[in-house]
């Protein structure tokens, strides 16, 4: 199983690091990519459309300001998509939060807190653990230890 961690800009790498760290901690393969819903929408759509057949189990998307990445990805895949609104801009992430959480019916995006990439990683692990007993056991140990 592998999870894609997408970010709208290379500048978002530090804010999205927690997702990769959590996934790696649980032994989940991580594929990090920079993809902009605005600068290269066709590449984003192509990636999302083929993600399931390419072996991905979930996709985490981090973007700031208009934050359309998670919604565009969710429109083109049946995989679970987790959105991470990123801080910055005039509203310090509130605009990204609204953009990420306000998806139309039929295009769901699970959304974590502003800059909550670590929780996005944990949520992806929880989703994968539904059908993976070994991962579920690791998750139980993690939660019992205080979820840190």
List Cα–Cα distances, 145 to 88, 98, 119, 125, in angstroms: 33, 33, 16, 16
Per the listing, tokens 């992430």 go with 93
Domains of the chain plus CATH, in order, are 2-144 (3.40.50.1970)
pTM listed for this prediction: 0.96
Q: How confident is the model at residue 147 (pLDDT cuts 50, 70, 90)?
A: confident
Q: Are strands 81-86 and 110-111 parallel, antiparallel or unpaired?
A: parallel
C-alpha span between 35 and 53 (Å, rounded): 19
Tell me: the pLDDT tens digits for 8-31? Answer: 999 999 999 999 999 999 999 999
Q: Please, which residues bridge with residue 33 across strands?
A: 6
- Mean pLDDT for the stretch of residues 57-69: 94
């Amino acid at each position: 199983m592998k999870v894609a961690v997408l970010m709208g800009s290379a500048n978002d790498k530090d804010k999205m690091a927690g997702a990769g760290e959590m996934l790696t901690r649980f032994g989940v393969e991580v594929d990090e990519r920079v993809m902009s819903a605005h600068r290269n929408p066709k590449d984003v759509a192509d990636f999302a459309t083929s993600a399931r057949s390419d072996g991905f189990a979930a996709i985490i998307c981090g973007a700031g300001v208009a934050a359309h990445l998670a919604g565009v990805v969710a429109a083109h895949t049946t995989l679970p998509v987790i959105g991470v609104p990123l801080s910055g801009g005039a509203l310090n992430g509130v605009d990204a939060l609204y953009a990420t959480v306000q998806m139309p019916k039929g295009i769901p995006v699970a959304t974590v807190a502003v800059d909550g990439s670590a929780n996005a990683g944990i949520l992806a692990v929880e989703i994968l653990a539904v059908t993976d007993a070994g991962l579920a056991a690791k998750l139980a140990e993690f939660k019992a230890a205080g979820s840190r």
